[in-house]
Structure 1
């Protein structure tokens, strides 16, 4: 009697990483935010809110990013990317649908004063701020999981920045064009866009099997000597940006003497210039240059500094748009260095915590900078731009001279967790 020959088990191939879907999630959440940005300044004046109240609203969103980013980042490793993104997009849809309703009531004069301001803070600040905090850390931690070397890691992180830049371009165009039909139109469009993102995640994003998850993601300290120089550089870059981002609409309206609808259109054009610079940087320059993270920070920091300095000059629309383009280009080159560099120095178990820490650091800059920027603008319009220029100059010097940016490994390494200075 012969024993039957057992057929070899078929080889199972691991499913391909779903990086494009994660990038689509980043794109759609930022598209919702960027569609609103061109009309936030004229909207505030239409409903009777002061510049500082809009600054507080944006700063509240940043506080929520600081408070929740690390939690989201670690949770994305222990629960999986899909549950985290479904929760985030669901919250974003509800918050922005209610925000659109509130704004329409405010423009009709049915809600005003302190109540309007508090509801602006709760919906746009707390609700949407908590939701958007989940998405970049989830994408960054995932890309760190699936990229095997420095070059792939930098390209992956540049992809996140590139889709953010594309969202800035598309959102600026959509927000600016829709504002021609009234400020309420882009407000209604935002929850519709976010609902499309939610549907994409629910029906297309694959949930990881439990063995691929990290059961106990590690915390990582902002004082960790492997990462704090990157965090400090990123903090400076985004603080400089925060000083001018919220006041861009006010700069456009006041320097060019425009009404509310035209301000929305041309603010969209200004943000479009920044987005084009970012796309050029992260879709073309960063992938083709092959530069290491430190080089990206140095080159990008110098270019962004030049853009901030040019923006100080009130010389009409062309220098204004050129300055914003340079700022987008410079920060677009520097950002992958900021996000990819420290991921080469920490273990897999620390990647979610690190991604959340990067998101929290970026969010921290918008706790104070928008409120300070709008307050300084009320004192003297060039003042927040001068402050941003000085901070960007300090960052450019720091990344040139600090030794951490001269000692980066070419391959990801599982460094000793908790090494602090």
Structure 2
């Protein structure tokens, strides 16, 4: 029951994020914002989220996982309502130009400050209550909510966007309110602190090991490349295929849905059944991600795009929980909260650099963001495989 509640909490925010990423390029184009302004908005809010996730993870022992999870869900709900209302002001002409961009940027960043409490609270809860040998499976049970959110979010956005580009943003408020009530009423307050060892000044003092650092960097690269793809795909479909804003949002959503379905398949079929060790999954999944991005860069037909997105889903579904599990398993117990915070901040870290990097590459050539993502994943795959084999 506990895993189910945590799953639902992350699912609500995952659907919201998926809807947000699906409609944002079209919203930006409709409101007269540039690709660069959209990228800066995503990157800046991700920067705030990454800092927030690390800060929130360090105070879970004091305030408790459940309480901070409720804070994060409340912040997401209120922030989404304000953010959507500001977009409405922009689309109706009340706000526009640089003023609209600045206000949207501030609103999204303030929302990220509070909603960043959700992932470290949920994952920290799981890490605290799970055994090391089942850590990858336990993390997968809750983080698979992100993949299901990517399955449900795009079609939800595709249906609701027919009633207006802002309808999906207002619609997800229902999900986050339900998740908040569920956590408040049903989630047990299970919190455990790691006591500092004698002679240490702080539970999180000291650096993490080289291998743990590499696993964290690997997670960052996963989401950096994902951010590059999500930032550019809708614009690519509009500029290369001539799609209008609504159709581009729908096609991007369906491609992301394919990716998420395959990610769920490997998480439920392989990762959570302990059929392969995390080390093996990493060595297979990360090279597969490189291949997927290179196919997207070279594709000329929708069928190839869907094939690449399927491979992308398989790679992400296996790689992230495996890297997260190894990072938390190989760190010292007194650094558990610090590493957990860094792991849960990696999606935001990726989105700090990914969107502006993608925007720069996109202005050189529309296919460059995807090719660059493939090269980055190829490099990190080599480093991870070498490290895992050397410690094997």
**TM tier, shorter chain?**
over 0.9
* 8 Å Cα contact 1:277/1:326 also seen in 2: yes
Q: Does residue 136 of structure 1 match 2:145? A: no
* 8 Å Cα contact 2:212/2:327 also seen in 1: yes
* 8 Å Cα contact 2:88/2:166 also seen in 1: yes
Question: Deviation at 1:252?
Answer: 2.7
Instruction: Using the TM superposition, name which of 166-175 and 397-406 deviates more.
Output: 397-406
* Match among 195, 200, 204 for residue 219 of structure 1: 204
For the structure 1 residues 59 and 324, does the alpha-carbon distance in structure 2 shift closer, same or farther, using more than 3 Å as the test?
Answer: same
Question: Deviation at 1:190?
Answer: 2.5
Q: What does residue 265 of structure 2 align with? A: 280
For the structure 1 residues 291 and 76, does the alpha-carbon distance in structure 2 shift closer, same or farther, using more than 3 Å as the test?
Answer: same
Aligned length: 387
Distance in 2, matches of 1:282 and 1:253, equals 33
Distance in 2, matches of 1:341 and 1:196, equals 33
Q: Structure 1 length as normaliser, TM-score?
A: 0.87
Question: Deviation at 1:245?
Answer: 1.8
Question: Deviation at 1:198?
Answer: 1.7
| Residue-by-residue CA offset, 1:174-198 (whole Å, 9 max, x unaligned) | 1111111211211211323222222
Distance in 2, matches of 1:69 and 1:221, equals 19
Distance in 2, matches of 1:33 and 1:405, equals 38
Distance in 1, matches of 2:114 and 2:269, equals 30
Distance in 1, matches of 2:145 and 2:211, equals 28
Question: Deviation at 1:149?
Answer: 3.3
* Match among 358, 369, 374 for residue 343 of structure 2: 358
| Residue-by-residue CA offset, 1:87-112 (whole Å, 9 max, x unaligned) | 11111111110111111111111100
Q: Does residue 55 of structure 1 match 2:11? A: no
| Residue-by-residue CA offset, 1:33-73 (whole Å, 9 max, x unaligned) | 11222211111011111011111111112111221112211
| Residue-by-residue CA offset, 1:149-192 (whole Å, 9 max, x unaligned) | 32x21111112331110011101111111111211211211323
Give runs of aligned pairs for residues 15-26 of structure 1, distance below 5 A: 18-26=2-10
Question: Deviation at 1:384?
Answer: 1.0
Q: What does residue 267 of structure 1 align with? A: 252
Distance in 1, matches of 2:218 and 2:206, equals 16
Question: Deviation at 1:131?
Answer: 3.4
Unaligned ranges ≥5, structure 2: 197-201
Question: Deviation at 1:215?
Answer: 6.7
For the structure 1 residues 399 and 138, does the alpha-carbon distance in structure 2 shift closer, same or farther, using more than 3 Å as the test?
Answer: same
Q: Does residue 160 of structure 1 match 2:120? A: no
Q: What does residue 364 of structure 2 align with? A: 379
Distance in 1, matches of 2:161 and 2:11, equals 21
* 8 Å Cα contact 1:309/1:386 also seen in 2: yes
Distance in 1, matches of 2:154 and 2:205, equals 36
* 8 Å Cα contact 1:34/1:167 also seen in 2: yes
Question: Deviation at 1:294?
Answer: 1.5
For the structure 1 residues 220 and 295, does the alpha-carbon distance in structure 2 shift closer, same or farther, using more than 3 Å as the test?
Answer: farther
* Match among 265, 280, 289 for residue 295 of structure 1: 280
Q: What does residue 42 of structure 1 align with? A: 26
Unaligned ranges ≥5, structure 1: 1-16, 408-421
Larger Rg: 1
Give runs of aligned pairs for residues 201-220 of structure 1, distance below 5 A: 201-208=183-190, 212-214=192-194, 218-219=203-204
For the residue of structure 2 that corresponds to 1:196, the secondary structure is helix
Question: Deviation at 1:251?
Answer: 2.3
For the structure 1 residues 394 and 40, does the alpha-carbon distance in structure 2 shift closer, same or farther, using more than 3 Å as the test?
Answer: same
Q: Does residue 103 of structure 1 match 2:76? A: no
Question: Deviation at 1:123?
Answer: 1.9
RMSD value over aligned CA atoms? 2.0
For the structure 1 residues 121 and 396, does the alpha-carbon distance in structure 2 shift closer, same or farther, using more than 3 Å as the test?
Answer: same
* 8 Å Cα contact 1:294/1:406 also seen in 2: no
* Match among 69, 84, 88 for residue 72 of structure 2: 88
Distance in 1, matches of 2:168 and 2:206, equals 40
Q: What does residue 147 of structure 1 align with? A: 130
Distance in 1, matches of 2:350 and 2:20, equals 20
Q: What does residue 199 of structure 2 align with? A: none
Distance in 1, matches of 2:83 and 2:224, equals 26
Q: What does residue 4 of structure 1 align with? A: none
Q: What does residue 11 of structure 1 align with? A: none
* Match among 299, 310, 317 for residue 314 of structure 1: 299
